[in-house]
Amino acid sequence: MERNTVQTEPCKTNLFAEYGKSLMVHVDMSPGQRILDLGCGTGALTAELAKNGANVLGIDNSAEKIVKARFSHPELMFAEIDALELPYNEEFDTVFSNSVFHWIPNVDRLLAEIRRALKPGGKLVCEFGAASNIATMRQAFAAACARRGREYRERFYCPTPDEFFDRLKAAGFEPERVLEFDRQTPLPGGAEGLRRWVRCFLADELSVFGAAVQEQILSEVETACRPLLWNGEEFVVDYRRLRAVAFRG
C-alpha cells in the first residue's frame, strides 16, 4: 500500500478529460465489467472507459451536462443523479471519478454512498484537488476579500493524503494507494485566463460584491499571482492533485 507519496506529473494539456485518462490505468475496462463514472460531465471519459467493452454508466447532477453527454455519445448510458443519493446496491465493479470530490464537502456521506454502490471487493478510483491545490490564487483571493472586511471561507474539499486515507478506512475501504502530486496547468485565454478562472470557480464568492469591486478584486488577484504563475504567454496554475485507489472492505 502506498501512502502520502509525493510525485510530480509534467503538464500536458489544460483539459481535465485528458488528465483523467492517466487515471484509467487503475481500472479494469474489459467486457463484463460494470463501471460507474461519477461526475461524468459531458461524457468524454465515460466513452474512454467503455471503449474496450465494459458496461459503463455516467452520472452527473448537472442536467445540462447530461444532455450534452447523451448528444455526444448516444450509444452510452447517462443519468442525472446526485452523488450523495446513489440509488444502487452492490451493482458496480468500479466507481471512477475524476476531478469531482473537491466539489463535495460531505465526503463521509459520499464514500458511504459509493461503498454501497460497489460490489463486495469492488474498487474506487478517484482523483481530485489535494490540500494545497491552487494555493497561490486562493491566498490572493482571500487577501483581497479581507481588505474589504470579508472572510473567504473555503468551500472545496481538498484533503491531505493522510486525512483522506483515514476517511477511506472509516468508510469501510481498504486503501491500496493515496498519492499526491503537482500538476502545473496552463489556463486557456492568455492574459485573460486567470480572471476567467476566478469568475468561473469563485463566482459565488464574487457575487457578494458590486461590479466595480469585483473588477478591483480580479485586478488585485492577477497582480498578486502574476510573479508566480505568469510564464510570459499564459497563466500556469499550481494545481496539486490527490489520487486514490481503494477496495470495498
For 159-179, how does the pLDDT look when each residue is reduced to its tens digit (9 = 90+)?
A: 999 999 999 999 999 999 999
234: amino acid identity, one letter: E
Is it the case that residue 15 has pLDDT exceeding 70? Answer: no
- pTM value > 0.85: yes
134: amino acid identity, one letter: I
**Grid cell digits, residue 2:** 502506498
Q: What pLDDT is recorded for position 3? A: 45
13: amino acid identity, one letter: T
Q: Is the CA virtual torsion 118, 124, 128, 132 positive or negative?
A: positive
Cα atoms in the 13 Å half-sphere on the side-chain side of 20: 23
212-244, pLDDT tens digit by residue? 999 999 999 999 999 999 999 999 999 999 999
Q: For the beta carbon of residue 220, count every other beta carbon within 10 angstroms.
A: 16
Confidence of residue 16 (pLDDT cuts 50, 70, 90): low
Residue linked to cell 478517484? 126
Compute the average pLDDT of residues 41-50.
Answer: 96
Q: What pLDDT is recorded for position 19? A: 64
Q: What pLDDT is recorded for position 205? A: 94
Is it the case that residue 14 has pLDDT exceeding 50? Answer: no
Exposed/middle/buried for 104, CB within 10 Å: 0-12, 13-18, 19+? buried
**Grid cell digits, residue 204:** 459565488
Residue extents of the structural domains in the chain: 2-248
Domain 2-248 architecture: 3-Layer(aba) Sandwich (3.40)
